[in-house]
Amino acid sequence: MAAPATAAPPVAPLPEPLRLPRGTVHGLLAVVLMGTFGYLLNRDSIAPTVLVNAVVVCIAFYFGSHGTTLSSGSAGGTPSGTRRPRIVRGLLLAGFAGLAGWFLYRGLPFDQLPPELVQIWEVLGGYLLGLSLSWFFHRRAHETDARRRLATAFRDLSAAGALGFTLFACYAMATGFSIAFGGTVEQGLSLVITYYFGSRVIPR
């Protein structure tokens, strides 16, 4: 008679990088990049494109749906209780808001803010708008059929609008037609994309 098979011992998870708490390296990178970005703008220097792109990537991570996974616990979905992603999000928002406020306090007109800072706020503004509207339509969608239909309509309209404008913007940029709009198409595309991804953070 064959001996009963013994259960394999559980495999220990890999340690976190540098043995630091989960999410620490992400947060440090984001804070260092934001600090460098603000320092260069405050010195009236042009922030390198690679730095602007790195800051945008950090924003996409911490304000997108992947950023929320840092606060998840084990595979069973038990919250770990960490609030580090929220702290970093707060630091990023406060930093960029303070930077814009500092330039305005120095007497710089709103339409003359550094273009790199305007690009960052286009990303943040679109995301926050999508997140806010999504929260408004989804927060009580489970209560009645009418609210559920309203939330569904919001999702459908957001998706159709994002797809439609993105197709138009890509066509305009590929054919040179966007030149006639003086950069409005590119700015609109940035807002639409970030708005839609922000609206999808709330998955209900």
Spatial contact of 193 and 186, defined as CB atoms under 8 Å apart = no
Q: What is the pLDDT of residue 9?
A: 62
Residues 6+ apart with CB under 8 A from 166: 189, 192, 193
Residue keyed to tokens 């409005």: 184
pTM: 0.63
Torsion sign (Cα): 132, 62, 94, 115: negative
User: pLDDT tens-digit profile of 9-41?
Assistant: 665 665 666 777 877 777 888 888 888 888 888
Residue 127, pLDDT above cutoff 60: yes
Highest-scoring range by mean pLDDT, 20-24, 42-46, 95-99, 112-116: 95-99
| pLDDT, mean of residues 30-55 | 81
Locate 54 and state its tokens.
């790195």
pLDDT at 144 over 70: yes
Of residues 16 and 100, the one with the higher pLDDT is 100
Q: How far apart are CA 197 and CA 178, in angstroms?
A: 23
The mean pLDDT value for 60-72 works out to: 57
